[in-house]
Amino acid sequence: MQKKDKTRRKVLIGLTSAVGLSGLPFAATPFIAAWNPSAKAKAAGAAVKLDVSKMQYGQQIQVAWRKQPVFIVRHTEKSLAGLSNVTSKLLDPNSDQISEPYKGLHSSRSKNPEYSVMSGVCTHLGCAPKYFPELEPKPWDATWSGGFFCPCHGSMFDIVGRVYKGVPAASNLLVPPHMFEGSILTIGEDKEI
């Protein structure tokens, strides 16, 4: 009988251990999740990461960083080549009037020549400009070359966020600190600054 008791005890210990181990991932998940920044921390300025490899050429997406919209645009070579066509219409084509972290690095005003990363807040009164990439006449500009138009008061920006002359906005759209690690874009963090 003692042999049966020892076998039964081993089986019970084994089953109890198996049940306990199967519950370990459920217990560990909230603990590990607690290491991630909270929603409050993200809103206060924690970095935002996203994979931009799936973006189509000419596409614009919007993410939130510090409770503000940030626009990311993936450019075609043709659209970047056309930037010089609007230079004479721009108030500050070289971003001399604002502090820009990647000034002169690429025509996209970004750390990556294929993407532009910019604040989605108009520099006039804080409205949200709309993206119009089409190269066609628009009611606000008969020679529209693509870019952003703010419907609140009529400010216009080119496809990389540079402000046009004679509009209410006084400066280019701001460029937040960002970095690319392959196709992963991190907004709000730059290891080289």
- Whether 24 and 94 share a structural domain: no
Evaluate whether residue 127 is within a structural domain: yes
Evaluate whether residue 193 is within a structural domain: no
Q: Is the pTM higher than 0.75?
A: no
- Residue 28 banded pLDDT, cuts 50, 70, 90: low
Task: Provide mean pLDDT across the span 81-91.
Answer: 90
Q: What is the CATH number of the domain that holds 72?
A: 2.102.10.10
Three-state DSSP class for 44? helix
The whole-angstrom separation of Cα 140 and Cα 148 is 11
- Whether 84 and 145 share a structural domain: yes
The whole-angstrom separation of Cα 164 and Cα 109 is 16
- Whether 6 and 92 share a structural domain: no
**Residues facing 74 on adjacent strands:** 115
- Residue 7 banded pLDDT, cuts 50, 70, 90: confident
Only one residue has tokens 């009988």, namely 1
Evaluate whether residue 192 is within a structural domain: no
Number of domains in the chain: 2
Residue 116 pLDDT > 70: yes
Only one residue has tokens 């400009």, namely 129
